[in-house]
Amino acid sequence: MVEYIIETKNITKDYDGFRAVNGINLKIPKNLAYGILGQNGAGKSTLISMLCTIFSPTEGTATVNGYDIVKEPNNVRRSIGIVFQNRALDDVLTGREHLEMHAALYGVKKDIRQDRVNEILDLIDLGDKIDEQIKNYSGGMKRRLEIGRGLIHLPKVLFLDEPTLGLDVQTRESIWSYIKNLKDVIDITILLTSHYLEEVDSLCDEISIIDHGELIKSGSPSDLKAELKNDTIILKSLNNDKLKDILQNQLFVNELMVDGSEIRILVDKGAKLIPEIVHIAEDNNLNIDSIELKQPSLEEVFIKYTGYNINK
């Protein structure tokens, strides 16, 4: 029987007549990495804030580690660690001092506090920077320290809200590697929000896509990609409208979508169809500026269920 560490029940949040989260129902099993994927403003951070008891839901509720977020918020808070989207570190403290302070704030008992701090310092691997002021840390080191801070009191759930937002590509990949390792060495459920497709594809066992405050689709990244069963041919032309009208009537087209300046066609065995598409365009005196073949990806999944590119 699957045990769920988080369950939401029609959870909803309104702000002055605007519905940021609309009746979402989720069941998140224990001890995996679960991703909430959506464009900026989709409602991801609002959902996380309600699960962390920072915001109260307008309607509905949820349980985290068996505790109701409305009726038992203090028990929920003791069960979770949080890494916020915006950094919240005191630059004049050292990494060690920062963890010691938060261990005390989280109520870690004095007789085990130092051992716990040392365990986290080993885990986040700050090297010889441990006793330097945080203002001397790189962006990746600061983020690892924040993750360590969220783990100091042995939470059951770690919330990561856009954990690599604003970091350069190399640092993001370093943080991803760290989070992957974290899943393997700690008995914990990780719930992260992101608008980086490659991030959730790399890190998450299961994901949910949220759009305009609503739950659109859930599943493992591999299962969601497998559902498409299509190759994608991406076309760009100065004559997009005419080319779209011609191609959408072709028998080999399973589905056609327009995304900005691109025409995306879902087909079977796309490599064999590229010459045929070029010939069709030539026969109709249309020029194709670029043509690209892609295997099913999480980007295609997102576009299929929302109708647009996540970074649009």
pLDDT of residue 92: 92
Q: Where are the domains of the chain?
A: 4-221, 230-295
pLDDT of residue 2: 62
Q: How many CA atoms lie within 13 A of 73 on its CB side?
A: 11
pLDDT of residue 247: 93
pLDDT beneath 70: ranges in the chain: 1-2, 312
3-class secondary structure, 18: strand
Does the pTM exceed 0.75? yes
The Cα-based distances of 112 to 78, 103, 151 in angstroms read 17, 10, 14
Listed residue (131, 127, 140) closest to 176, CA to CA: 140
pLDDT of residue 69: 97
Name the fold adopted by 230-295. Answer: Alpha-Beta Plaits (3.30.70)
Residues 6+ apart with CB under 8 A from 145: 89, 95, 98, 99, 124, 126, 134, 137
Count of all residues that appear for the chain in the document = 312
Mean of the per-residue pLDDT values of the chain = 90
CATH architecture for the domain at 4-221: 3-Layer(aba) Sandwich (3.40)
Q: How many CA atoms lie within 13 A of 268 on its CB side?
A: 4
Under 8 Å between Cβ of 27 and 62: no
Angle (CA) 235 237 243, round 5°: 80
Per-residue pLDDT of 18-42, as tens digits, reads 999 999 999 999 999 999 999 888 9
